[in-house]
Amino acid sequence: MSGAGPIRIGTRASALALAQTGVVAEAVAKASGLEVELVQIASEGDHSTASLASLGGTGVFASALRDALMADSCDLLVHSLKDLPTDPVPGLVIGAIPKRADARDVLCARDGLSLEALPARARVGTGSPRRVAQLRSHRPDLEILDIRGNVDTRLGRVSSGDLDAVVLAAAGLGRLGRLDSATGYFELNDWPTAPGQGALALETREQHSAELAAVLLTLDHSSTRLAVLAERAALAGLEAGCSAPVGATAVVDGGMLFLSATVYAEDGIRFLTASHALVIEGSAAERAIQPSELGKRVADDLLAQGAADLAAVGGAA
């Protein structure tokens, strides 16, 4: 691979995006022996102050990056997988999914408080409809505010006293070295998080160099890929966007792939859950399609239970 040009990695310019892209860049440089160049790309989601739901969900962060990749302004993109729409883009592929970080949500509250210890009518901020529903399910007395901004901005609203707490992803705080701000962790069996949360997606053009393909192969983590693809398949089967009130958790254990997904009503009181599992077996090609089959099975179960009556899933307006 000597004599090859640098591998250009496209990223958003936020502190979190740069932190997680930096980790990937180091791994790419180590695996390839090539120079790595970061290409910062601005998106509509970075400039707008409107809520994510009104902008069409977190996919607004991916579109500008993908345009740059298609225009050959970079060779590789680093996405937070939970922010990536499930619909495929012709000409682009997820070339690697590295080992997943902590998929849980955390509470970051004033005075080290837990969710249970927050006072009545405490002000809690989040931009996620799923987290809104979960907060209402656990503490219907809370005042929940729709917020935007990067991690520091959100934490700053707590330290300033504007909010009593915010809910954030453990993985993001960890990548920024800010886990000391967490005052409580929500366990996945009681508080499932966004499909793909904690994982990164390395996206590239379908036609890419053999050198890049070799690098991506070294960065891919097979059990993470199986788990997050199953979660995303459930989201796709529900015809729900990445801002929908849907939580999903998949794990690989003992040669089995387990998947559970929950659809919430806006009030958080009503929700439906479906869980299924399958044995991971067969050829590599057969194993590659099993997460999609499992996700569809879970989605079909939820729709049969009436999930479309709770939220905008299954084609419901």
Structural domains of the chain in order of their starting residue, each with its CATH number:
1-99+199-220 (3.40.190.10), 105-185 (3.40.190.10), 222-311 (3.30.160.40)
Is 130 labeled as catalytic in the residue annotation?
yes
- Count of other CB atoms within 10 angstroms of residue 88: 10
Of 8, 99, 110, 148, which is the active-site residue?
148
Q: State pLDDT tens for residues 54-107.
A: 444 446 678 899 999 999 999 999 999 998 999 989 999 999 999 999 999 999
Of 12, 66, 82, 123, which is the active-site residue?
82
121 vs 164: CA distance, rounded Å: 10
Report whether 77 contacts 203 (CB < 8 A): yes
Report whether 193 contacts 105 (CB < 8 A): yes
**Which of the two residues, 198 and 48, has the higher pLDDT score?**
198
Is 82 labeled as catalytic in the residue annotation?
yes
17 vs 10: CA distance, rounded Å: 10
116 to each of 100, 119, 190, how far by Cα in Å? Answer: 28, 8, 14
Q: How many CA atoms lie within 13 A of 3 on its CB side?
A: 0
Report whether 129 contacts 245 (CB < 8 A): yes
Structure tokens, 303: 């729709």
Of 66, 131, 175, 297, which is the active-site residue?
131
DSSP per-residue letters across 212-271 = HHHHHHHH--HHHHHHHHHHHHHHHHTT--TTSSEEEEEEEETTEEEEEEEEE-TTSS-E
Of 12, 100, 154, 232, which is the active-site residue?
154
Residue 316 has pLDDT above 70, yes or no: no
Q: Return the SS3 of 92.
A: strand
Is 242 labeled as catalytic in the residue annotation?
yes
Of 130, 157, 175, 225, which is the active-site residue?
130
Of 75, 83, 105, 164, which is the active-site residue?
83
- pTM exceeds 0.85: yes
